[in-house]
Structure 1
Amino acid sequence: MAVLDLNADLGESFGQWVLGDDEAMLGLVTSANVACGFHAGDPSTLRWATAHAARGGVAVGAQVSYPDLRGFGRRFVDVEPSALTDDVLYQLGALEAMCRVAGTRVRYVKPHGALYNATRTHTGQARAVVEAVRSYDPSLPVLGLPGSELLRAAESAGLRAVPEFFVDRGYTPEGALVPRREPGALLDDAAEATERLVRMVTDGVVRAVDGTDVAVRAESACVHGDSPGAVAMATAVRDGLARAGVELAAFTT
């Protein structure tokens, strides 16, 4: 039986601004990419998210970002590698504190937004993120796009590199994510997204925006928790995977 992790970006509310339905999503996913305060999430939100994840047996990952609250971490920052390493370490420590009091721990690391996209090709920033993880806890897996500089750097550093698939994002013929401002970037049809995910799991390919098939293998699939209809999308995906005989389980131990 095929096994797949289902993850979502959570803990992104800030003060009175509520983003997504974290409680519902935590009942559907096996891993939670929890914001660390740099792109979203305030201390109370992070504590709530880690506590509820621990209670539900959901693995907690640190979703690290550029310090960009105004831009939700979706703007590239040309930060020098040593400073980026320090930023990632700072975020890991903040989320680990919330995990500790909740009776759990940070189990993996995933960059967010522009940092995630940058580390696909930006060698310096990819290595900076990996250096932070290696220095903090070399047993932590790193979640990233297949074929990215991030996963190559993680493997070179002796870390576990976990390839990820995006349920609700379009792919380019090169296997990258279609930029959010371009046509085909976002998928909102739950049935179509589920069919595409099952095909990735069973056949190892995904249909790109130009109609060609791109080879993709992944251990984890992401449903964005802040997208409209995220709960319905995650529910449809879970049901579709079950029908296809795919078991859902966190990729961490």
Structure 2
Amino acid sequence: MSSTDLAIDAVGLCKRYRHTTAVEDVSLAVERGEVFGILGTNGAGKTTTVEMIAGLRRPDHGQVRVLGLDPVRERAKVRQILGVQLQEASLHNALTVTELLALYASLYPRPFTAEDLLERVGLTDQQGVRFENLSGGQQQRLSIALALVGRPRVVILDELTTGLDPRARRQMWKTIASLRTEGVTVLLVSHAMEEVEELCDRVALLESGRVSALGTPRELTEAAGAATLDEAFVTLTGSEPGEDS
């Protein structure tokens, strides 16, 4: 399968910071319409990997293509097809939910309406609230809505449901399921094993900046001789989900 047939084609990605290697020879081939999970302990290289895929960091070695486009050299084109929600979102505190959505929508030729997005992420009642007055979970849901506003064909979600209560978490799961139905490719970074089992078609496990295992959640669980993906994670990494490596 060529890179133009894939939603994400990352080959031999490497990133070093002085004497620390964050990512070493990571290759990922994500098919169109797939929900692909990235697992790993803190410090395993997950966020650096997705930032390179999104074009937010330039790899020291290796290459990335998103729907055949280089996210660094063809940044403007990639922004029209790629939505990104990262853990640390920096948004204007004084703007309301609706104002932020309108600002982001102005960057795209055919954006979703604010009403549609707010319903998807469960923020309809907060549309007139300033960003600084939203709870942490509500800010998280707004950052997801902003990632979706331009009708992206590929979406990167880093810790999708961090800080969300169980009801909001389930709502986000339904949102991801609807994106899959619409043919959107989702790259999901998560510590929540139940979430990964529920949503992901395939999963890559990162350890010390390298891909140590790759397969469906069931394949990883069976390979570890475990009953659940959570148990498989512990067996394969020697750590609990969310622990530092």
TM-score relative to the length of structure 1: 0.34
Q: Which has the higher strand share?
A: 2
- Of structures 1 and 2, the one with the larger relative CO (CA 8 A, separation 6+) is 2
Larger radius of gyration between Structure 1 and Structure 2: 2
TM-score w.r.t. the length of structure 2 is 0.35
